[in-house]
Structure 1
């Protein structure tokens, strides 16, 4: 870390622990919860996905029978292959001690290599960066598309669509500080009602033209792709809107476990989505291919206004799930030292996963509102949506190959064949979306590039800073031997020196000896290690090494899903024989003032960016939850 001499680069092997398991709740409760959190995003796709795909395939506002059957067949098989086969059957099994998500998969894949290759780290960083692109597009397009349903009620609502969307989004981000625990109770039931409603709506219109069921035959995909390859290529990008949110299945694995997520998909989500898409297709066929807005139009009459209201609730829930996912991913990134320390507020006394990050929430809100104001219509935002999601899925496929071959020990021919199929589909979707860069795709790419640049700068700068300070430090054993032969004045109490390198003498210790010329009767060199696992058992949290009568080395290991709490971890030390009194213990931290240098190995602009990031990092005392009255900070100046 930059502001304090603390970080995961300790040079020691982390201690791992078994996953503690998910809360003991009934399968029904967990499945209902998974509906509300996991499937909110993909569940709102029918509002715009089928319509956007038809518009992309048709010339004008009228689609041919071949276009309708081809588009619907593509959606059906995309949901089957990408979600049901790839994610349900394979990706969900790649859990890291029960946790999922891009960074969890990256940590799992890297743990299979002794050298921890940088290529795996880069793939993980790319996937995480692209997720943030998705995190800002999802609330904007979901809420905007739902509110646009008001125009179906009466065109006079048109001028008010964007203002109403902004009000809803501002309210959504404003309530984040109160946590999702209370509102989360109603997420599942509302989403269940939503899926049953869209399923019933689609089922009621299948009989408008039952020949729409021919779309189950993949023959229509071949005909659609070969008839007009150039049009089909662009249409595939819109087809992908139907599977956006598939990454949420994996990202929220740690909240519910695999079985509830699989059960919710197979019993409710998948059937209801298929019924609605097929119903939309039959509705458009029965209206001579007139595209319009089939999702809302096939609910004209008494059901229209309730459906618009329900769609708005569903999109807010979908947005909430993505925002919570962004908080969780950011915490993982901080713990894995991919981002500087950020303030994390826990909004639940019982659920550690319910957190609020003020800075992240503010940045997400600003970008989302700018997107709504700038694009104004969900159709325009749709072009910006697919790139980040498809890119993220491709990164997941690459990391999954590493897990399949190195951890699952799957035969190379089988793992390679599966990866080839998944990658072929991912690359196809990504290629069809990348052509939309000038039409709006630049927005998600700009967000992803910004996050990737910040991550890479922090990782690179932290490494240079670590190497630079290590060169100027002396080995701890050398200092201990020197002090044993010629000890300074000994004072009572315990001094804890936090450091990222337990093999070297901490800078705070050296400055304390230089200025105070005293040594405490008990000196602890403490390092905090982040394990590539979500959690670490309390019995394996602390490792103590007695160097001599005056010095001991302590290593504390936390999972990347845990909030480091040094005082609580110190209490564990009593069981290992270290008797201490917190009221006579002082914590020494080194606060570094960084200065840019032309010889750092990084460009000057990246030097300055790293220094800016370091200055905005959360205070180490607060982050590690150390009592402020027991902290002594020693300032140093470092040129990087």
Structure 2
């Protein structure tokens, strides 16, 4: 007999979501104490561990977490959801869908959003590297002679993590929340014990210590923000993962668990430095009692793996959204769970991330060196997110321009201060995430422009449907049994693949379906609005399929559900696809370098059949040449 729970089911569900959010949403920001205080004092900035400096840094960390994470993200930006979904791609779609703007302004804002999304990949390469490396560096505190093994162990952990991606994260994900709950409790307990021994650190709650720090250090105080920003990396995940858990569980997890634990640990590290300035070499691990240090190193390694997993999954999700919205070529996507739509694995992204991360670990060799490159991509994305969210506030929510301007001045002032502090890191390694972001941005914009030009060219050369129907009515071709489905992006004309097939084979199937897949500016489309079927005559039908940018199309399943509109047997159905080959025209419509890049992308794009989950034995591909 099962025990009777006295907690209502709805409350238990909320509790489960809060714990799950700890594992997925707060992995990155939750592991920041491993290196933030250390880098502020012993890294690039090398501040003296005087009581005034310690209180100044602690105050900056405290108020950064409150102003940037609590107020900007949790209270303000998380209001800007697109039917429950968050993230910069959702923000782009929300502006395109509801903001009343000119085409030119909309184009500029979409460009800013794409730049923010591109910078996410740069951040996604550094986060696993610095997180896992900083955790494994605890071995040096445990046994200094283990130093030569730090980099090899870090690489082994990272390679194993990426190798396991193809198996899916559903089972491991179930453990993320409880493990991170233990992690945050440990952070809070060790921090509180240290504060109890040196309560003077609590004076940093007064923001005047942050002001005094700036007045004392001047320009160098702004540079020190490059270390303080490490405390708020991962803040973008609060917004990006909103669709998985909802606002309320994320807010509860932040205010009830994550924020208190983080502040206790940061202040505990500050208290330790007040007692023992020599602990600056690794204040996080020296805060831990020697008897449990080995356990804490193991827990930290697991926590950083969880933080890395969140970034990797985010890269997969962002890439899938970009493909749906037409900003990325089709890549091979593997579905690792029948139940969870978000459980996907993209091999190309997985191995490119690992390649970049391994290069970073081998090139920088320590978390201190990596910290010099960390932050510029994060602060760039945060700044762009703030700009787009303020556009939503004025153009979508119809907020007062005056109040929105005051809000913009406050949030953007903070964002730009952090971004300016990190600009100086470009020479020290910050060029790497910027280079990654620049490459991704170039690829996305080139692909989008090339596909738009190619679609326009194909529309110009297409045959109007009315003329085609009249022609086959006057001169009926040979009709053969079965169903032919022609995929086309043109909702008006006749697919090129059909004309090509009719010209060479001189026959037409008894049932012909023109199928167009449309991606809407919403995360998901209701099942009753998924399919539009129209009878064209002469045994021809047009099906328009509507999907949200968070969904993955499955054409055979949709076609099977259309059997009530016309007789169809999937075993006797063939899918005809047109494979376009792009060639340069005498007057290219794009810059020559960009056209060559687009041609290269089209030659290496993934299979249309695999993307739409069409069985390979049911596919017929017909070539087409397009001059741009």
State whether TM-score is above 0.5: yes
Cα deviations across residues 471-502 of structure 1 (Å, max 9, x unaligned)? 22222233223333333333333222110112
2:88 alignment counterpart: 102
Q: Which residue of 1 aligns with 2:21?
A: 34
Alignment correspondent of 2:620: 632
Greater length-normalized contact order (CA 8 Å, ≥ 6 residues apart): 1
Alpha-carbon separation, structure 2, partners of 1:394 and 1:102: 11
Partner of 2:568: 580
The 3 A distance-change label for structure 1 pair 419 and 289 is: farther
Gaps of 5+ in 2: 1-9
Q: TM-score, normalised by structure 1?
A: 0.93
How far apart are the structure 1 equivalents of 2:598 and 2:15? Answer: 48
Query: Contact conserved, 1:36 with 1:189, CA < 8 A, in 2?
Result: yes
Deviates more, 1:112-121 or 1:315-324: 112-121
Query: What is the CA–CA distance in structure 1 between the aligned matches of 2:61 and 2:230, rounded to whole Å?
Result: 9
Q: Deviations over 1:145-174 (max 9, x none)?
A: 111111111221111111110011011111
1:595, CA displacement in angstroms?
2.3
Q: How far apart, CA to CA, are the structure 1 residues paired with 2:140 and 2:497?
A: 65
| Residues 1:346 and 2:335 aligned together | yes
Question: CA distance change for structure 1 residues 206 and 359 in 2, over 3 Å: closer, same or farther?
Answer: same
Conservation of the 8 A alpha-carbon contact between 1:597 and 1:604: no
Q: Which moved more, 1:413-422 or 1:392-401?
A: 413-422
Task: Determine if contact 2:99/2:396 at 8 Å carries over to the other structure.
Answer: no
SS, match of residue 501 in structure 1: coil
Length-normalised TM-score, structure 2: 0.95
- Verify: 1:505 aligned to 2:473, yes or no: no
Query: Is this contact kept in 1: 2:45–2:224, CA < 8 A?
Result: no
State whether residues 34 and 261 of structure 1, in contact with CA within 8 Å, keep that contact through their aligned partners in structure 2.
Answer: yes
The answer for the alignment partner of 1:151 in structure 2 is: 140
2:592 counterpart of 1:604: yes
Count of matched residue pairs: 616
Cα drift, residue 66 of structure 1: 1.6
- Relative to structure 1, is the Cα distance of residues 629 and 24 closer, same or farther in structure 2, using a 3 angstrom cutoff? farther
| Superposition pairs of residues 393-404 of structure 1, within 5 angstroms | 393-404=382-393
1:378-397 to 2 correspondence within 5 Å? 378-397=367-386
1:44 to 24, 27, 31: 31
For structure 1, the residue ranges without an aligned partner over 5 or more in a row are 1-22
**Counterpart position of 1:19:** none
Note the C-alpha offset of 1:558: 1.1
Which position in structure 1 is the counterpart of 2:230?
A: 241
Q: How does 1:288-367 map to 2 (within 5 A)?
A: 288=277, 291-367=280-356
- Kindly state the Cα deviation for residue 273 of structure 1 after the two structures are TM-superposed: 0.4
Q: Which residue of 1 aligns with 2:4?
A: none
Query: Paired residue for 1:172?
Result: 161
Are 2:195 and 2:201, in contact at CA under 8 Å, matched by a contact in 1?
yes
Find the partner of 2:188 among 190, 195, 199. Answer: 199
- For residue 540 of structure 1, what is the aligned residue in structure 2? 529
Q: Would the aligned equivalents of 1:56 and 1:235 in 2 still touch at CA under 8 Å? A: no
Partner of 1:531: 520
Query: Could you tell me how far 1:287 is from its partner in structure 2?
Result: 1.8
Is 1:211 the counterpart of 2:204? The answer is: no
The CA RMSD measured in Å over matched residues stands at: 1.8
Residue of structure 2 equivalent to 1:473: 462
Contact 1:529 1:558 in 2 (8 A): yes
Matched, 1:82 2:68: yes
By how many angstroms is 1:41 displaced? 0.4
The reply to whether residue 257 of structure 1 matches residue 246 of structure 2 is yes
For residue 405 of structure 1, the aligned residue among 367, 387, 394 is 394
